[in-house]
Structure 1
Amino acid sequence: RWYEYCDARFVWKKNGQKMEVCVSEQSHALADGRVHILSWVKDAVAENSEYCCSVLSKAGNKTSKVLITVAGKDSIGQAEWVKEYDSWRSAVSEHHAMMQNWKTTWVSFLTCMLSCTMLL
């Protein structure tokens, strides 16, 4: 998990209340010691809601807020929302797969370089 590599942590709030059960995270340790981290929530929104995501670490803190406004209680626009959500979920999954491929490539490369250096 990403917290093995850095002290950063995510704090999600919905309408001022801390969220925990629907928070997802992905991470990738970079070769230079930095960590690429991503977090998102999966939540049903039936009423106007403010979401707040904070990243806290020794290096500094950053907070982002968004207000989700529900246009109506019916299903008008729901198909559009589901399609957009699926698109974002697909992009996150694709990004995670790409980062894992890069990690595998770098580990293979570094292992090869280390082996070649030891042979010299």
Structure 2
Amino acid sequence: MENSQTNSPTTAIMELANMISVPMALNAVVRLKVADAIWQGGSNNPLSAAEILSAAGVGPGGDAENLQRILRLLTSFGVFEEHLDADATERRYSLTEVGKSLATDESGLSYGAYVLQHHQDALMRAWTL
């Protein structure tokens, strides 16, 4: 008999449907220049989602709560490292080695361009019916 928790058809469909979450989250942090906001010339100081939005130049309409969800998702995939303050009320994020590849280097290059290339509007429209 199938293991109902890991091999059920509905679980398989849910996993397949959610596979888009990671690339879309990656696309969002690249577009917002989150890695550059955290990296700031090599400091890699942990920042809260609100601080990241501010450092990235996102105006008051930025949604720190939504960004935090995205950061937590990408933390689970090794892009960011999560830090809790002493009273565990605020989460801050720094870059892992993987995340550092999204920060703009001294030559003005970043692997963020690779992410954006794979999420171009023209390519995304190819999937519509």
Q: Structure 1 or 2: larger strand share?
A: 1
Q: Same fold (TM over 0.5)?
A: no
TM-score by length of 1: 0.31
Larger radius of gyration: 1
TM-score by length of 2: 0.29
